[in-house]
Chain A
Amino acid sequence: MENAAFFCDMQAMSNSERERYQELREELEKTIQEIKELENGYAFRWRGEAVSLLDVAEWVEKERKCCSFFDFEIAAERERGPVWLKITGGPGVKPFLRAEFGVR
């Protein structure tokens, strides 16, 4: 099974943290402009003015608490350009991401 190596600790977040996580995730998902496939993961793009870098970082902070096997990169392009979130990892992480985040 490709996803077998990935295990998320669902107990790592408290109820209130999980609520906040869901809130952030919904907000961020609503405003995604583009999803790009990478060799070892995916990159998600937002318009600079449409997303708060702090919200992205907060979501990442929570996500990595339960799923520590991801590498994350948050990139803010100059002059209030796009914000990118790259989620990558070891072999097999892509199918996991597709299943977890509904990436097609």
Chain B
Amino acid sequence: MGKHQTGSRRDPGGAVFAVIFCVALGFGLWLGARGLPARIQQGKTAAKSETQAANPESSFYCKTKSLSKVEWAHKKQISEKMRIALADRKELANGYAFRFRPEAVSLMELADWVTSEARCCPFFDMGIEVERDGGFRWLKLTGAEGVKQFIRMEFNLDAEETKQ
């Protein structure tokens, strides 16, 4: 465990707070490309009050303090670009892949996002794919059993699908 870790498997409330905070700030903005998921908006509130209802079954937690305020602000900027660049989403066996328009977000920005996400939420396997001849960029988020459900719940993907 990292010394700055705020979430803990023994503290599901804290864990969920940390997860929601990390996800909401680092990821939620661009996933809400077709409408900001309500769950993520709630997460932002929870991050402030630390009173968000817990999901005691989650085994995934994020180290929110692994990023400074400045780093969070930087990540938020990239997240916003990713939100605008998001073109498609694909379900994978163990996670999701998100496709971005190449002219709207750079490979360096995606790598920057992945780097900070890995510090905050180290349980993800992450991959960036760059197609030849200026083609699309993909970000894959996968992980251990349960991570897919975690993504679905935290990012409100079911509601997103309903909207589409």
CB nearest neighbor in A for B112: A54
Residues 65 to 104 of chain A near chain B (Cβ within 8 Å): 68-80, 89-90
Interface segment, one of B29-37, B84-92, B126-134: B126-134
User: What range describes how many residues of A lie at the interface?
Assistant: 20 to 34
* Dominant SS among interface residues on chain B: mixed
For residue A72, which residues in chain B have a CB less than 8 angstroms away from its CB?
A: 129-130
CB nearest neighbor in B for A55: B111
Asked if A17 is at the interface (CB within 8 A of a chain B CB), the reply is no
Are B111 and A53 touching (Cβ within 8 A)? yes
Query: Which of A57, A79, A80, A90 interacts with B108 by CB under 8 Å?
Result: A57
What sequence of 0s and 1s flags, for each residue 110-130 of chain B, a beta carbon within 8 Å of any chain A beta carbon? 111011001000111111111
* Dominant SS among interface residues on chain A: mixed
CA distance A52 to B129 in the complex (A): 17
Tally chain B residues at the interface, Cβ within 8 Å: 25
CB nearest neighbor in B for A89: B132
CA distance A64 to B126 in the complex (A): 21
Query: Which of A61, A68, A75, A79 interacts with B132 by CB under 8 Å?
Result: A68
For residue A24, which residues in chain B have a CB less than 8 angstroms away from its CB?
A: none
Query: Which of B125, B129, B132 interacts with A76 by CB under 8 Å?
Result: B125
Are B123 and A71 touching (Cβ within 8 A)? no
Asked if B107 is at the interface (CB within 8 A of a chain A CB), the reply is yes
CB nearest neighbor in B for A63: B130
Asked if B146 is at the interface (CB within 8 A of a chain A CB), the reply is no
CA distance A78 to B143 in the complex (A): 7
Given contacts A71-B132, A72-B130, contact A57 B107 (CB under 8 A): yes
CA distance A61 to B114 in the complex (A): 16
For residue A89, which residues in chain B have a CB less than 8 angstroms away from its CB?
A: 132
> What are 18 pairs between A and B in contact, CB < 8 Å?
A54-B108, A57-B110, A57-B128, A61-B107, A64-B130, A64-B132, A68-B132, A69-B132, A73-B130, A74-B111, A74-B128, A75-B126, A76-B118, A76-B126, A78-B144, A79-B122, A79-B123, A80-B118
- A residues in contact (CB < 8 Å) with B: 52-54, 56-58, 60-61, 64, 68-80, 89-90
